Amino acid sequence: MKKQKLSKRTNTYTPTNASQVCSSVAMSLNREETLSEHGLKTFDNNLEENHSQHRENPDLRVQDVVYVLNMRGQPLMPTKQQKANKLLKQNKAKVTTCKPFTIQLNYATGEAKQPITLGIDAGYQRIGFSVITDKKELVSGDLHMRTNISKKISERRGARRLKRNRLWHRKPRFLNRVRTKSKGWLAPSILHKLDTHIKLVNKIKTFLPITKTIIEVAKFDCHKLVNPEINGIEYQQGTLQGYNIRQYLLEKWHYRCVYCKKKNVPLEIEHMTPKSRGGSNRVVNLTISCHDCNQKKGDMTVEEFGFSKLRIQADKTFKDSTFMNIVRWRLVNQLNTEHTYGHITKHNRIKHGLEKSHINDAFIIAGGTNQKRNKPYILKQIRRNNRCLQKQRAHSISIRRQRHKLQPNDLVKFKNKLWKVIGTFNKGISVGLTREEIKKYPNTKNVELIRYGKGIWN
């Protein structure tokens, strides 16, 4: 009788203020359920074919639950893969997102929801997230954010300066400086990471009905990290008190090159870890060397150059600590969430015998105890668009390039198999594909785009 009732139901739009009708399917969709098998197809509603493609391609790893949206696109409680298969076969649902795999119902249903908590382990380079209920973990993962924002900005500044130097006259501009910007201005690299945290939380809320969000915040004293016994007026007496940088380094290294030990030669300030390799301008990362040794060392670190003993103090940067000091309350206020502290997370993680990781920290932050864990996602943020369309060649010859639809890391379908795009060739006529160390270069017209490989959830 239940199956007959379901088959007679028609696809109707559900108004926001209309009362919802419960059914056997609706109740099963709104219960917490897990998958019993893998292999759900992610690019159309026909689930009878290509189940093996998802098992062969690790990039299409299927999550332990299938996420469900109602007719209005609002998230419901996730369901089993078997139930999702039946709904897709009966054309009662459609696929909306491949990763994470999400379906949308085509009929009115009940919308009973359970308390769901999202835990966020904020960081400078990585973000851990975990969504749990009273019984199990619905989704978890570790997002690696972009770290090349400052480098890209420097390249843009150099290109603009080169272009402006070629002009005979450029009208002076005085209102584009940092000091003239509004209060609360953030450096572009910091702002980008702050926006990434907000985008990740909003993305998770699009396929799960989150009822509570908790973010870990922390305040760091960078002086205490270097010298735990610092106190009082010592905060005002830094390493360079009474010195400039050059004089401090000359006296520290006894007025001679740290590599060849020569004296009475012109000496230059040199980085142990080059800035191109992520080194900082902190004093602990600076040395003194002659011009010849500086040029010979080039882009190598002191360890690669054969002088590992010079690393008296590790070049530990405080970018992570400074970032959290800046954005911790911005995150809490903009997302309107609850917050917790690092020492509480550490205590609870050790109490439950979990290893130190961003995913486990997020699980503890969300209030996890003995819930059934989910297979985590390992995500990497990829730049959505390369805006450099014009390349400058020798003798002032510029080449204007065209941006094609298919870009590297995109997922496509070719001959009923899933491939990852390497790039486009022959002015966009052919596309390079790779799959299990096999490469092919078919015509672009014979390839079907399944999912873009850019952004956060790629």
pLDDT in tens, the chain (458 residues): 444 433 334 443 344 443 333 333 333 344 333 333 333 333 443 333 333 333 334 444 445 689 999 999 999 999 998 899 999 999 999 999 888 899 999 998 888 889 999 999 999 999 999 999 999 999 999 999 998 898 888 888 888 888 778 777 777 777 666 665 677 888 899 999 999 999 999 999 999 999 999 999 988 887 777 778 888 877 777 777 777 888 888 888 889 998 998 888 999 999 988 888 878 888 888 889 999 999 998 888 888 888 877 776 555 678 888 899 999 999 999 999 999 999 999 999 999 999 999 999 999 999 999 999 989 999 999 888 776 666 655 555 555 567 788 888 899 999 989 999 998 888 889 999 999 889 999 999 999 998 888 888 87
DSSP symbol at 455:
B
Q: Is residue 229 assigned to a domain?
A: no
Residue where a domain terminates, one of 54, 78, 105: 105
The domain that holds 271 is classified in CATH as 1.10.30
Q: Is residue 133 assigned to a domain?
A: yes
Q: Are residues 336 and 205 in the same domain?
A: yes
Q: What is the per-residue pLDDT for 221?
A: 83
Q: Tell me if residue 402 falls in helix, strand or coil.
A: coil
Q: What is the per-residue pLDDT for 38?
A: 35
Q: Is 178 exposed, middle or buried (0-12, 13-18, 19+ CB in 10 A)?
A: exposed
Residue 188 backbone dihedrals phi, psi, to 5 degrees: -55, -40
Alpha carbon 384 to chain centroid distance? 12
At 158, the amino acid letter reads: G
DSSP result, 247-286: HHHHHHTTTB-TTT--BSS-EEEEESS-GGGT---SGGGE
Residues 6 or more apart in contact with residue 9 via CB below 8 angstroms? 23, 92, 107
**Residue 7 lies in domain:** 2-105
Buried b (16+ CB within 10 A) or exposed e, 347-368: ebbeeeebeeebbbbbbbbbbb
Contact between 128 and 359 (Cβ < 8 Å): yes
Q: Are residues 45 and 71 in the same domain?
A: yes
Q: Is residue 176 assigned to a domain?
A: no
The domain that holds 206 is classified in CATH as 3.30.420.10
Q: Is residue 158 assigned to a domain?
A: no
Rounded CA-CA distance 81/455 in Å is: 26
Q: What is the per-residue pLDDT for 55?
A: 38
Strands 137-144 and 126-132: antiparallel
Contact between 374 and 63 (Cβ < 8 Å): yes
Q: Are residues 138 and 95 in the same domain?
A: no
Contact between 192 and 315 (Cβ < 8 Å): no
Tell me the longest C-alpha to C-alpha distance in the chain: 98
Contact between 320 and 328 (Cβ < 8 Å): no
Q: Are residues 214 and 325 in the same domain?
A: yes
Q: At what angle do helices 188-207 and 149-165 cross, to 10 degrees?
A: 130
Residue 131 backbone dihedrals phi, psi, to 5 degrees: -120, 125
Residues 6 or more apart in contact with residue 375 via CB below 8 angstroms? 61, 63, 64
Q: Are residues 61 and 193 in the same domain?
A: no
Q: Is residue 269 assigned to a domain?
A: yes
Q: Is residue 226 assigned to a domain?
A: no
Residue where a domain terminates, one of 264, 279, 310: 310
Q: Are residues 126 and 100 in the same domain?
A: no
Token digits for 147? 């770290």
Up-side HSE of residue 156: CA atoms within 13 Å toward CB? Answer: 10
Residue where a domain terminates, one of 70, 105, 140: 105
Q: Are residues 338 and 204 in the same domain?
A: yes
pTM of the model: 0.74
Q: Are residues 51 and 66 in the same domain?
A: yes
Q: Are residues 14 and 42 in the same domain?
A: yes
Contact between 450 and 418 (Cβ < 8 Å): yes
What count of residues does the chain have? 458
Q: Is residue 172 assigned to a domain?
A: no
Q: Are residues 49 and 140 in the same domain?
A: no
Q: Which long-range contacts (CB under 8 A, 24 or more apart) does 307-313 make?
A: 307/258, 307/259, 310/258, 310/272, 311/272, 312/284, 313/284
Contact between 66 and 199 (Cβ < 8 Å): no
Q: Tell me if residue 179 falls in helix, strand or coil.
A: helix
Alpha carbon 453 to chain centroid distance? 13
Strand partners, 4: none
Q: Would you put residue 353 in left (φ > 0), alpha (ψ -120 to 50) or beta?
A: left
Q: What is the per-residue pLDDT for 176?
A: 67
Q: Are residues 306 and 325 in the same domain?
A: no
Q: Is residue 174 assigned to a domain?
A: no
How many domains does the chain divide into? Answer: 4
Q: Are residues 54 and 203 in the same domain?
A: no
Rounded CA-CA distance 149/161 in Å is: 18
Residues 6 or more apart in contact with residue 376 via CB below 8 angstroms? 140, 141, 142, 359
Of the candidates 99, 28, 34, the one whose C-alpha atom is nearest the C-alpha of residue 65 is: 34
Of the candidates 117, 118, 89, the one whose C-alpha atom is nearest the C-alpha of residue 103 is: 89
